[in-house]
Amino acid sequence: MWKYDGWESDFKLGLVSPHADIGPEAEAQAMSSGTRITVHGARVEFSPMHPGGTIDEKIAHDPVRQFIAPEMIDKAVESLSSSPLDAIGLAFTSSSFLVGAQRERDLLARLTALSHGVKLTTTGFAATAAIRELQLDRVAIMAPSWFDDDLCRAGEAYFRDQGINIVSATPSGPSGGPRHITPAATAAAVESLVATTNARAVFIAGNGQRAVGAIDYLERTLKITVLTANQVLLWASLSETNLRPRISGYGRLFAQNPSGVET
């Protein structure tokens, strides 16, 4: 008699993202279609983004650091985690890259003390766990066009410091900002990147860089593994659940047996 209203969901995922970025929620909802997973967002001010979801041609590094400063992100996490959530993901790749894995662990420890027991992970740690789960080698990072070369080099160091073989890290994603990215443009950019780097896997970084719509096509066509920022964040958040296998069409990552994700 009663219709499903979303409250009695199997998993409630919180996402913390820049104030003008709806990409992480949109992609998480798309991947979760057909499941009883609900997605709930919190916003943190990020000055390189502007009304209408536009973004600076290249983002400065100081606002990235400010995003994860205690006076910014702590209140958002504490407030969001007051809801009856199962997990929270920090949908912000650039801070992972900029501060490095050890300082990111410190960030998670600080936020965990405020999260009312709700599990937390970052995009960087989720990507690292996914790469290890799939035992990937020769990984190319396709950062969004709004990352500068220094931020890409920081991303390369982020993974290499954790023993991952990175063959390339470049701002080679489609240009024009989040609103102008399409699956076709993403696929073309990845095809070009693989042709020039001979990569066996690609991590499409940047939670605002929409990419999940191209995963299935690229894996079938290029015979490589494709990971994306919002894909790995959803995958990691669903660790220790039986919900991962219910997600299909968004990469071989979800076909793997669940395992614990180190944070």
Cite the beta strand spans of the chain per DSSP E. Answer: 11-18, 37-44, 49-50, 54-55, 87-90, 119-122, 139-142, 166-170, 201-204, 225-228
Q: Average pLDDT in the 4-26 region?
A: 95
Buried b / exposed e along 85-117 (16+ C-beta atoms within 10 A): bbbbbbbbbbbbbbbebeebeebbeebbebbee
Q: pTM of this prediction?
A: 0.94
Q: Is the pLDDT of residue 258 over 80?
A: no
Give the largest Cα separation in the chain, rounded. 57
pLDDT confidence tier of residue 256, bands split at 50, 70 and 90: low
Q: Is the pLDDT of residue 27 over 70?
A: yes
Q: Average pLDDT in the 235-247 region?
A: 92
Q: Average pLDDT in the 170-184 region?
A: 94
Burial class of residue 176 in the structure, from the number of CB atoms within 10 Å of its CB (0-12 exposed, 13-18 middle, 19+ buried): middle
Tokens of 184: 């076709």
pLDDT confidence tier of residue 1, bands split at 50, 70 and 90: confident
Burial class of residue 241 in the structure, from the number of CB atoms within 10 Å of its CB (0-12 exposed, 13-18 middle, 19+ buried): middle
Q: Average pLDDT in the 246-250 region?
A: 94
- Side-chain-facing half-sphere of 164: CA atoms under 13 Å: 29
What is d(CA 101, CA 86) in angstroms, rounded to the nearest whole number? 24
Q: Average pLDDT in the 78-95 region?
A: 97
